[in-house]
Amino acid sequence: MKLLIFSLLIFLIAFQEQISCFSFSIPVSPGYYQNGHFVIGGLFSLRVTARYSRFKFGFNDTMTIPEAVIVNLTKNYQHMLAFIFAIEKINKNPNILFNMSLGFYLFNVDFSERKAMESSMALLSGESPPIPNYSCRPEKTDKLVAVIGGISTGISTQISRVLSLYNVPQISYAPFDVSLGTRVQLKSAYQFPVHTAALYQGIIQLLLYFTWVWVGLVVPDDMRGELFIKEITKEMVSHGICVAFSEKGPVFTSGVVVGWYQLLLSITLTRVVLAFGDTHDFLTLVSLILCFAVFGNVWITTSDWYTITLPFQQNRIYTSFGGALSFSVHKDEILGFKDFQRSVQPRKYPHDIFIQCVWLILFECPHFYEHGVKELSQCEQNGSLSTRSVKVWDMSTSPLSYKVHAAVYAIAHALHEELSLRVNGESLDKGGLQAPLPWKLHPFLQKGQGGRNINEENAVNHEVSATKLDIFNYQSLQSGTKAQVKVGEFVFESHSVQHLSLNDKLINLGELHNQAAFSVCRQSCLLGFSKTQVDWNTFCCYDCVPCPAGEITNETDMVQCFKCPQDQYPNKQRNQCLPKVMTFLSHEDTLGAVLFSMAISLSTFSAMILGLFIHYRDTPIVRANNRNLSYVLLVSLMLCFFCSLIFIGQPRTVTCVLRKMIFGVVLSVAVSAVLAKTFIVVVAFKAIKPGSTFQMWMATRLSKAIVCCGSIIQVCICAVWLGTYPPFPDVDMQSEYGQIILLCNEGSTLAFYCVLGYLGFLASLSLLIAFLARRLPDTFNEAKTITFSMLVFCSVWISFIPTYLSSTGKTMVAVEIFSILASSAGLLGCMFLPKCYMILLRSHGHSRKRFFK
């Protein structure tokens, strides 16, 4: 750890400018004074110094270094030039101050709050170093009307602590901070307003444009940073953007650098980083990033602080910050300011002590020391700022320079209003008219009417109705120069009226991002997967789980899978709903063709047996058990085989009704015929004794009565079923995957099972009677065959019920057909095959005469 901190110190010192103005800084700069009827103070920050910085290695070990110049921020000298340019323009316009002039008293306070307070006291006392509560040079202090400064909220606060004691107006050109007035009881701090909602919405729309939803936040360690985190986090969450981390950047001040390793680790693990702040907020952060070679991030910033720090290390800066996108409030160029910058030379402003340092750095001049101060020697005295590289000097007006220029005009117009009231339109006596007391300018500054001229309009402490933000992209030009290129803009009027426009062709997100960067906690969930939030993280971190069976997702990153419509089904990837296929048991199906063939074959076989019985109708074997009942039974069985054909094909209303009704009635006729035969067997063998009381039962009417009664009861049941809740065509969309099964709904399930129950009753009764008659003489005795046939019949239909209930779709229909065929075939085979055998092979031995011998 000690070695790490030591290397960081060496790195910071190594990044001193190649030519520094001072080896070690003095407490307060002497200042740059120009006399006038009224004097405006200016407190600017041109360099970064480290004063007695203390770095902590452990609990007890510390290391200190004396104050030294770390970085000279040459671009910040433009703030002073904007101040001087505004003063000169105002002095050339006799209508503003009634032929009176403005003077100035400028100080460099570095980025030190202590120096800002000391310089503020120097403005009031007229001496540097200052003598508090004393006016040592009245010709300076009595003319002071207002002060412009400082560059940060912290510096502005310290300036206000001094100036507010004397009620001297102060206009801060620092970024707008709503908390500035709450730090101390300020009466004199004015700020240039900015629509914070516009900045927040611009950032949100930019993130959404690139679909960056996993973003880290880096803010200053102050109230401004805390407020930004609170407000931007609320906006991000409401738009579905997650905060990967929120860290407070180390501010470059004397003290202990703590927590920097956590910040660097967070930045390394996050692709897109949003940094809110300015140059003074991230000086240490830039040094840390370059020291540890952190790169590969896309930075979104609220100012171009990365282009200002360490100007002679822009190649390394670009490695880490190339492709950064920054927001800046749109401002028009100040007319004539570029020409003014071209004309600036040390000879033109010989009393400007700050231009000496800037010129040494910009033109890399040899120098020597005189009384501890570097002097120009053999330098380009006639050089022009326009010839310098953009990395050390930018001719375009920076946002802060624009604010400084506007602040001077705001004070000048306040003076104009105050002077106008005093003279009441009369001619001015410049000799007798003294500078107004500073506090008298407050009413005019509060009106916000300062800063207006022919081509610009600025307001102080006033709300703004519409805001236009320019979006810049830090990129390398073809010439190799690293520069900020405008790639778009954001116009904000209200939350409902806003517009983001970007030129994609101009945007370059850096060497590592030829295409758009991808910033999410994890990859999007593909089609067929849904997001499941991870409990320990934010809603942007989630797991992707496959959709359950029967559900799909047709978009990425869906939170919940959904079911397909009933007439559709999911594909195997579960990312699309496909139309289901209409299907039913048809003749083209293999199963349907097999069942159809079986039904036709069995019907033909029944017809053949019927023909055989008709042909041998006079033989004893045919006549023995009432051949008419045999004919009825064979015809009913043949009809049973034929009725199974109605079950094959597309269900319709007629076929659905006929299926159940014909099946129930025809099969009941067959079973009733079997029951009648069973009674005849018993009666036949009881009637062999002459004069038996059972002889009457041998009559044909008995068999007809049993068949008719048994059939009529079933017809009645079917009629009730048909009249209440008959069968109807229906669809089954759930049983078979990807299919819609067309089937017949039984309608009344109770009626359906009543039909089956009645058939079971007839069959059971036949089985019981046949079983009791099984011991009668074998010849011509059908009791045994009836017993076996009823056993088969009952077994089939008992097995039918659970099988039918557990079947779905076409299988259910096939089970029903098979049960009809199997039970009918059982009756046909058990009862008639033995008789056919006897008729064809043994008919000569079967006669009643032989039987009685």
How would DSSP label each residue in 754-823?
HHHHHHHHHHHHHHHHHHHTTTS-STT--HHHHHHHHHHHHHHHHHHHHHHHH--HHHHHHHHHHHHHHH
What backbone torsions phi and psi does residue 376 show, to the nearest 5 degrees? -75, 140
Please report which confidence band the pLDDT of residue 274 belongs to, taking 50, 70 and 90 as the band edges: very high
Distance of CA 204 to the CA centre of its chain: 13
In angstroms, the CA 837 to CA 834 distance is 5
The token duo for 354 is: 């700050």
- 622's CB contacts (< 8 A; 6+ apart) are 613, 616, 630, 835, 839
Please report which confidence band the pLDDT of residue 766 belongs to, taking 50, 70 and 90 as the band edges: confident
Q: Which whole number is the average pLDDT over 119-137? A: 78
Residue 747 is predicted with a pLDDT of: 87
In angstroms, the CA 485 to CA 502 distance is 12
Task: Say yes or no to pLDDT of 6 above 50.
Answer: no
Other CB atoms within a 10 A radius of the CB of residue 296 amount to 14
Residue 11 is predicted with a pLDDT of: 43
Task: Say yes or no to pLDDT of 485 above 70.
Answer: yes
Please report which confidence band the pLDDT of residue 368 belongs to, taking 50, 70 and 90 as the band edges: very low
Residue 62 is predicted with a pLDDT of: 54
Task: Say yes or no to pLDDT of 141 above 50.
Answer: yes
| pTM, entire model | 0.64
What backbone torsions phi and psi does residue 753 show, to the nearest 5 degrees? -75, -20
Residue 29 is predicted with a pLDDT of: 59
Per-residue pLDDT of 13-56, as tens digits, reads: 444 433 345 433 444 557 899 999 899 999 999 887 765 445 45
Residue 605 is predicted with a pLDDT of: 92
Q: Which whole number is the average pLDDT over 772-776? A: 68
Q: Which whole number is the average pLDDT over 308-325? A: 75
Which of 523, 644, 540 has the alpha carbon at shortest distance from 214?
A: 540
Per-residue pLDDT of 174-207, as tens digits, reads: 887 776 655 545 565 788 877 788 889 999 999 9
Residue 13 is predicted with a pLDDT of: 43
Strand spans (E) along 263-366: 272-275, 298-301, 325-329
Task: Say yes or no to pLDDT of 171 above 90.
Answer: yes
Per-residue pLDDT of 643-667, as tens digits, reads: 989 989 889 999 988 888 888 899 8
Identify the helix (H) or strand (E) that includes residue 583.
strand 581-583
In angstroms, the CA 373 to CA 30 distance is 12
How long, in residues, is the chain?
853
Share of the chain above pLDDT 70, in %: 78
User: Among all chains, which residue has been given the structure tokens 């679909």?
Assistant: 211
